[in-house]
Structure 1
C-alpha cells in the first residue's frame, strides 16, 4: 500500500475491528454490486470509501431524471448516460486507489455464472424478483456469500445469504407466484432516506463478510423503518431443500431458459406448445392463446400428453413466473421448456 493510500485509510486503520491488517483484507477483496440504482449507489460509494480493492458494477440501464432524487452517484448532466460508466468515473474520483470493473449488461441465465465467478462477495441491489432468485441460485451454486437488501416505500431490510452455509433467499422468502404482487419503486414510490440507509447497511455487511466479523447478518433479517426509526432483527433458519433447488437450476439447465420476443415471433405456431401461467383474471383481460395452467396449479398438473423433447414456451405478464415454470418443467425432464423473456409486456 502506498503512503498516499495509507493516509486515505488512516481513520479505518485505527478502528479495533478493522486495523491495518483488516484494511489490507478490504483492499484485496473483490465485490460485485448488481444494480446501480437506489440501493446500489450508496452501497458503491461506501464500498469505494472503505477501500474495497476491486469493485464490479453490473447494470444495463441509463440515468433518468426520476432516478436522481435517490441515486446519489448521478446528477442532472448524467441523464441518458450509462449508469455503470458514470458510476465508475464518480467512484474513482472518490477513491483513486481502487479498481472498478463495469459490466453493462442485463443479468440473465446465460451470463450470471461467468459474471459472479470473478468476485468474492455479491451484493444484490436489484428490484426484480426473477433476477434476485437467479442471483441467489448462482451464489449457492458457486458458493458465494450474497448481501441482500430491499425497500418498500419507507421501510427496508438487509441480510446476508449463503455465508458459511447459512440460509439462502429461498429459505427466507418463497419464490413469488405473481410478480405483479411485488411492486417496484417506479410503481409505489421510494423514500430516498430509506434507500440510502439500506444501501449503506449493505455495504457494511459486505465489509463484515470480508473481515469475517462474528456479527454478519447471516440467518438474521434486520428491518428498519425510516419514519418511526424502529430497527428490528428477525432470526430465520436454513432449509436444505432450498439449497438443492438452487443447485438443480444450473445442473439441469443445458441451454438458455428464455426466448426473446423477436425469436418467438419467428416461430411457426405449430412448432411449440404454449402455456399461460398467469391467474384467471389476468387471462380474462388479455392473452395470446395457448393452454392455461396457473403457476400454482403447475405442480399438480398431468403433463403426460407432452413429449419430453417437445418445445414448450411458457408466458406470464413480465417473465418472472414463466421463468419459475420453465425451471420446474426442466426438472420434470422437459429440456426444451423456455420462458418468454419479458412476458406479455415484452411483446407490446
Structure 2
C-alpha cells in the first residue's frame, strides 16, 4: 500500500476506498485525446480493471494531443499501444484491449462486464449508442467532449438520473477535432475532469455531475454549470435500441487500391472543404444533397463514403441502407489521409 499512501490518508479514500478502486471495472470508449488524458490517472489511482474499446490506429496527426503514443506506435492499434503503456506504469492492472469499434452488435455485451462507462469519443452517433446501451444495462456514463477551446463534462444515467438524450434530444452535427482544430491542453483538462468524476463515483464521495453540464473555456479560463432534468417521456427499450443501432450497423473499412479499381469512393464533404481529391473513381456528393440523389446509386456497385472525420460518412451509409442499398460502407480514413494514399498508389 506504499504506492497509494498519499491518497489513502485522505478520509474520502482510506483503505476501504482503495479496495473499491481495486475492484472497480471501468470501460473507456475511445483511445484518442480524452482517453489518453484520463487513462494513466485511472490506472495510477489503483483502478484494478480497465477496458479500452477503439478500432483506430495511431496516426502522426494524433501525437500532439494523444500523449500515450510515440512515433514508434504509428500504424499500431491505439488500444494495444495504450495497454502497453498502462501495464508498464501499473503491472498489476488488468487491462483488456478491444481492437474494434463500439457498435450496436457489441455494446450491450461489453457494457455488462463493467461498472462505469466513459464516453471519450468524438462521434455524435456513438454518443447516442453509448447512452442507449448504458440505459439498458443500467450503467453510469461519464461524458466529455471538446470543441476547439471549449470542453464539456457531465455524468449520465447515474442512479437513474438524466441521460444524454435528456440533454440532447436530437443529434446536431458539429465539426470534429480534425475539422475544427484543437489544442492538446484542452483535451487534457477535460479528460482529467472525467477521471475525477469516475473516482468520485467509485469512492461514493463528493458531488457527482449528474443532472449538470460543466462547460470550461480554456481560452478565457472561465467555466459555467447548467442544470438539466430527466425527461421521463424518453424510453429506451430493446426494440428502440435495435431499430436505432443494430439495423444501422455500418462497420468501417480501410482504404486499399482495390477500392479504386472495383468500387466508387464518395466524398460527402461540402465543395469548399480541402483537400480535394481528383480521381475518376471519386464522386463528390455533399451529405445535404445525398437524399435527393440516392436513386442514382446502382445496387450492383460498391460505394465507399468518406469525409473529414468519418461522422458524415456513417450518416451517408445509414441513408443508403434505409433505401435497401447494401453495398455501402464508410472508410476509416479521412480526406487528408486518403489524398496521400491515393497519390502514393498512383505514382
C-alpha distance in 2 between matches for 1:60 and 1:219: 31
Per-residue deviation at 1:40? 0.5
Per-residue deviation at 1:254? 10
Tell me what 1:257 maps to: 248
Alignment of 1:190-339 (within 5 A): 190-242=182-234, 244-245=235-236, 248-250=239-241, 256-258=247-249, 282=287, 284=289, 288-290=293-295, 317-320=312-315
Tell me what 2:69 maps to: 74
Tell me what 2:330 maps to: 342
Per-residue deviation at 1:228? 1.1
1:260 and 1:340 in contact (8 A); partners too: no
User: Deviation string for 1:23-58 (max 9, x for gaps)?
Assistant: 110110000001000100011111101111000011
Count of aligned positions:
293
2:105 and 2:249 in contact (8 A); partners too: no
For structure 1, which runs of at least 5 residues remain unmatched after alignment? 1-5, 263-279, 292-314
2:317 and 2:330 in contact (8 A); partners too: no
TM-score, normalisation: structure 1: 0.75
C-alpha distance in 2 between matches for 1:224 and 1:254: 31
Structure 1 residues 174, 69: closer, same or farther in 2, change over 3 A? same
Structure 1 residues 136, 339: closer, same or farther in 2, change over 3 A? farther
For structure 2, which runs of at least 5 residues remain unmatched after alignment? 254-284, 297-304, 306-310, 339-347
RMSD of aligned alpha carbons: 3.3
1:63 and 1:78 in contact (8 A); partners too: yes
1:34 and 1:124 in contact (8 A); partners too: yes
1:157 aligns with 2:152: yes
1:48 aligns with 2:39: no
SS at match of 2:224: strand
C-alpha distance in 2 between matches for 1:337 and 1:288: 13
1:258 and 1:339 in contact (8 A); partners too: no
Per-residue deviation at 1:339? 11
Structure 1 residues 255, 82: closer, same or farther in 2, change over 3 A? closer
